[in-house]
Amino acid sequence: MSTSAPPRTPLGPKDGPFGALRALGPHAGLFALLCVATFFEGFDTKLASFVQPVIATEFGASVGEVGTAIGLTSLGMVVAFFVNLLADVVGRRPVFLVALVAYAAFTLATAAAPSLPVFTALQFFARMAMVVELFLAYLILSEEVPPEIRGRVNGFFASTATLGAAVPAGLLAPLDAIGVGWRGLFVIGAFPILLLPIYFRRIPETRAFRERANAGARYGEDFARLARALWRSRNRGRLVRVSTIWVAVNLWVGSAMYLFFLHVTQRGWTAADVQLLPLGTIPLGLALYAASGFLMDRFGRRPAASLYLLACFVATVVCYQATDDRVIYWTYCTMFGLNGIWVIVTTWTLELFPTESRSTALSIANNLVGRMGLVFGPMLGGILAERWGDMSAAVIVLASVTLFAIPLVFTLPETKGIALDGDPSHPPAANEG
């Protein structure tokens, strides 16, 4: 197995951000199908945080109770770890399709939730399935597209989730006007259930999984082998460091992003005010997600991750300390786009490990360990906000964790341009910092 990454060639004008889409070739149909599913994953993911003020009123819950409920639903993202493990054993395709069915069904059921505990339970399973679906979509795409365009393709792919996440803000007021309210948003979010026949026909198994080493091993043997492989010294060190970065990313999202609508509601924003958010979140979301992919392919994973982690904290401080609603509006839209950090860290994590344990490694780093940030972010934010009487201070303190993650970025190898067919060609050990 090679011990060095392929030669790095500068990107010319024809290889710009949109050049990656033109280079998709036979993978264009797969890209389109995964983008549609991910659009609604983004839509549904945003719903749980977006409807917090509304469900607090309808269910008679306090800020702390709603924050705890949202944190508990995020535990489903942690439990997704056990489902994602199956992708290294039974395949990427079957796990993706089951997750797609499950998240559409649980999202639809949430529309009829009669109480906060039922809402929490349904969203627990819906978010578990959503994470599995998005996780496998990234994995399928990353293993199928050429390595030189992987970053940009993943950036454009993730931007469809940004579009989906921007839509609910523009729909709540009209749905309220016709008497449907927040429940109508969850009905819309279940739309992929209508497209399931197409997905079952058109989503293939990846070539990397079909041609993996030890194909055909028995179920129990596979898990034992994966555990041993990930516990090897190099993989173990990488796994610990990238998992810590994932905790920081998720804690920032769980505090700065999830608690934003409670913050602006306390400032007097109405559903009509929130309805204007897509005017900013859509263009900035698309631009910053696409930029994350371009920066990865042009400069590498380390510089892109460092820049986005720093920008996440700076934008959070400005947003939560600002007194001018226009500043709050535009910095939130910027934060929305800076969720492109997920694209960078997901792509990087997939490239750090061999095919036989790639899904397991990302499951441990993101779902089992990293997603605890989404569990405790809104919980701690709500508790600290009530104790201190200051939502802004609570969020800024929690968001500062992104700064502490930056030094860890430079302890991981640069994987720009690495191939994912079979065992990836890892950078030299000297590059691990």
Query: What is the full DSSP assignment across 262-316?
Result: HHHHHTT--HHHHTTTHHHHHHHHHHHHHHHHHHHHHH-HHHHHHHHHHHHHHHH
| Tally of structural domains, the chain | 1
Residue 307, pLDDT score: 97
- DSSP letter, residue 388: H
The answer to whether residue 12 is domain-embedded is no
The answer to whether residue 361 is domain-embedded is yes
The answer to whether residue 355 is domain-embedded is yes
Residue 427, pLDDT score: 42
Q: Residue 78: which CATH number?
A: 1.20.1250.20
Residues ≥6 apart with Cβ < 8 Å to 90: none
The answer to whether residue 4 is domain-embedded is no
The answer to whether residue 165 is domain-embedded is yes
Burial (CB count within 10 angstroms: exposed 0-12, middle 13-18, buried 19+), residue 322: middle
How far, in Å, CA of 281 to CA of 164, rounded? Answer: 11
pLDDT tens string, the chain, 433 residues long: the values are 333 444 444 444 345 556 666 777 778 888 888 888 888 777 777 676 667 777 777 787 776 777 778 778 877 877 887 888 788 778 889 999 999 999 889 988 988 888 888 888 898 998 888 888 888 888 888 888 888 888 888 888 888 877 777 777 677 667 767 767 778 888 888 888 888 888 898 888 888 888 776 655 444 455 566 666 666 657 788 889 999 999 999 999 988 988 888 788 888 887 678 778 878 888 898 899 889 988 998 899 999 999 999 999 999 999 999 989 999 999 999 998 999 999 899 999 989 988 777 878 888 888 788 878 877 888 888 788 888 888 889 999 999 999 999 999 999 999 988 887 544 444 433 344 4
Using only C-alpha atoms, the chain has a radius of gyration, in whole angstroms, of 21
Residue 312, pLDDT score: 96
The answer to whether residue 103 is domain-embedded is yes
Residue 41, pLDDT score: 74
Residues ≥6 apart with Cβ < 8 Å to 13: none
**Residue numbers of the domain that contains 365:** 17-205+217-432
The answer to whether residue 100 is domain-embedded is yes
Burial (CB count within 10 angstroms: exposed 0-12, middle 13-18, buried 19+), residue 57: exposed
How distant, in Å, are the alpha carbons of 14, 143, 150, 156 from that of 27?
A: 19, 11, 12, 14
The answer to whether residue 9 is domain-embedded is no
Residue 369, pLDDT score: 86
